[in-house]
Chain A
Amino acid sequence: MKRRDFIQKSTAATVLAGVGGLSLQSFSPSKTKKITILHTNDVHSHIDPFGPEDGRNANKGGVARRATLVETIRRDNPNTLLLDAGDIFQGTPYFNYYGGELEFKLMSMLKYDVATIGNHDFDNGIDGLFAQIPHADFEFVSANYDFSNTVMDTHVKPYKIITKDGIKIGIFGLGIKLEGLVGKDMYKETVYNDPIGKAQDMSRILKEEESCDLVICLSHLGYEYKNNPNKVSDITLARATKDIDLIIGGHTHTFLPKPTIEKNSIDKNVLVNQVGCFGLYLGKVDFYFEHGKDVTADGVSIIV
């Protein structure tokens, strides 16, 4: 019986330790928690602000300004994540000269947490992307690109879970069909899988198996294809899936003045957002959490 005794005791100690760890959050009575999600997409190597003579975006954008803005928001709420929805590369000579090194180094300095991969991130080939990975202190997610037969194998995960203030946030990535958009010699043996099917798997894993409180999809599928409504997009994705709270999109350079509220497959709200391109804007979505309270979906107030 001695052995059994020992197991019981050690189990009790472990459980107590566990409860001790949780108690700080779980017993502070009805404390509201706030998670801030900041996001960019299609920055396309726009490191410097546009010049004063630019016809369209004069004096807008710039990484050094984005850094100030992100830092201000983080000071206000340390429980902030910074995400990017792909097409980090290509668009200014910075990319042609340095191959994306500066883009990744700056994103690391701004403390980006997670990014997904856009079609232009293959512009120097998959080897060109791989070569810059050491400069990225953030992680890449893609659930529907299978990189197992490429140099990028193990450098891209389907999803990433980050816990902030006890709130478990699951982030997965989706990429656009490469065939016809990117040369085969560029993406090589990267396999594109159906984004909707993968998104359904991901939301089940993140919500049901991993019990995430917040599920975010980083997508480079494009916002919506009005002339080709059957083409998979963030809007069709939102409608065909469940348990995703926020889809952060890219690719179509869609300037949404505010997030779109769509209904998912079980008629619950899902937010879709995209902030154009070139680092002209920063998207900001704040999620407020009530602990233990059963807030029904309709009870969630969405202010956009």
Chain B
Amino acid sequence: MSIKHILKLCLLLLIFSCASSKISKIEGKRLDIDESIKTDQAIDDFIKPYRLHLNKDMDSVISYAPETYSKSDGKLNTAIGNLMADAVYSEGNIVFNKRTQKNIDFVLLNHGGIRSIISKGNVTTRTAFQVMPFENSVVVAALKGAQINLMMEYLSKAKRAHPLSHQVQLILDKNAAVSSATINGEPIDVNKTYYVATNDYLYDGGDGMTFFHPNEGLYVLDYKIRNILIDNFKKTDTLNPKIDQRFIKLEE
């Protein structure tokens, strides 16, 4: 056989062998991962030190809750929401004041951002992770009074217990229209600039909160809401949040 013959044979073989494979049958199913499957010991042993370290931290007691607090325990303001907004005010203002020599006027968060209850008993780091599992951080927006009025309109229409810090008092009449709105006891001045702390999600228009734009400036504190809660809880021996009068609706 000459080289030419070999080449021809090879070419034929190649063409034959290159005929591609074709799918003839497909089977698809979903497999459950549950107790019926044995734990892979090597994998579990690998996770163990991470788990122990994390649990030690997560289960460390940082405060005490005399009651269980839920975001559904009040109409327009809740104990847990008041606790969160006031914590963002006190911890956030320390950073804001140090950086700008100004003070935050008040805080607005969102009701949907409270992701868990705080159960009666020991409050741990894990509690803060459950209440705020997301990475959202505090931002302070400088807003003209006109924008604050839009915010109050929004709150009156939303009729949800969006957390406000204690500097705000918002009263709705029996038709849920704004009856009075004050910040630190003063009526809203359309020409004044207010420093409002919120989270980055709401600042970006989350939950339909469009009133953060336009604004007179933005201060990014690089301080996660969760870390604010942890820091605040650590300073507080016993949490004692209350439903109060900061956001109410008159019945008649």
Q: A19-B17, A48-B51, A64-B39 are in contact. Are A59 and B22 (CB under 8 A)?
A: no
Q: Is the interface of A mostly helix, strand, loop or mixed?
A: mixed
- Pairwise interchain contact A97-B57, C-beta atoms closer than 8 A: yes
Contacts of B58 in A (CB 8 A): 93
- Pairwise interchain contact A59-B35, C-beta atoms closer than 8 A: yes
Residue-wise, chain A 232-276 has the 8 Å CB interface mask toward B (1 for contact) of 000000000000010000000000111100000000000101010
Q: A68-B38, A109-B43, A290-B21 are in contact. Are A285 and B6 (CB under 8 A)?
A: no
- Pairwise interchain contact B37-A257, C-beta atoms closer than 8 A: no
Listed stretches A135-143, A151-159, A218-226, A292-300; interface member: A292-300
- Pairwise interchain contact A16-B26, C-beta atoms closer than 8 A: no
Q: When chains A and B are docked, how far (Å) is the Cα of A289 from the Cα of B23? A: 4
Enumerate B18-53 residues with CB–CB distance to A below 8 Å.
19-35, 37-44, 46-47, 50-51, 53
Cβ 8 A contact of A259, one of B6, B28, B133: B28
Interface size range on B against A: 35 or more
**Cβ-based interface call for A204 (8 A):** no
Listed stretches A80-88, A98-106, A170-178, A194-202; interface member: A98-106
The count of A-to-B residue pairs whose CB atoms sit within 8 angstroms is 192
Contacts of A275 in B (CB 8 A): 30
Q: When chains A and B are docked, how far (Å) is the Cα of A137 from the Cα of B28? A: 27
Contacts of A94 in B (CB 8 A): 50, 54
Q: When chains A and B are docked, how far (Å) is the Cα of A60 from the Cα of B33? A: 6
**Cβ-based interface call for B166 (8 A):** no
Enumerate A109-159 residues with CB–CB distance to B below 8 Å.
109-110, 123-124
- Pairwise interchain contact A288-B24, C-beta atoms closer than 8 A: yes
Listed stretches B7-15, B92-100, B181-189; interface member: B7-15
- Pairwise interchain contact B22-A294, C-beta atoms closer than 8 A: yes
Cβ 8 A contact of A123, one of B22, B30, B135: B135
Q: A22-B17, A300-B25 are in contact. Are A15 and B10 (CB under 8 A)?
A: yes
Contacts of A97 in B (CB 8 A): 50, 53-54, 57
Q: A69-B31, A106-B46 are in contact. Are A62 and B14 (CB under 8 A)?
A: no
Contacts of A19 in B (CB 8 A): 10, 13-14, 17
Q: When chains A and B are docked, how far (Å) is the Cα of A22 from the Cα of B13? A: 10
**Shortest Cβ gap from B250 to chain A (Å):** 37
Contacts of B57 in A (CB 8 A): 97
- Pairwise interchain contact B16-A65, C-beta atoms closer than 8 A: no
- Pairwise interchain contact B31-A281, C-beta atoms closer than 8 A: yes
Given contacts A67-B40, A275-B30, 5 further A-B contacts (CB under 8 A): A65-B34, A68-B39, A281-B31, A300-B23, A303-B27
Contacts A/B (CB < 8 Å), 27 sampled: A9-B3, A15-B11, A25-B17, A26-B16, A27-B17, A33-B21, A47-B51, A48-B51, A63-B43, A64-B40, A64-B44, A67-B40, A68-B40, A71-B40, A93-B126, A94-B54, A105-B46, A106-B46, A211-B20, A213-B20, A273-B28, A280-B32, A286-B27, A288-B26, A291-B19, A301-B25, A304-B29
The 4 closest A-B pairs by CB, nearest first: A26-B17, A67-B40, A288-B25, A259-B28
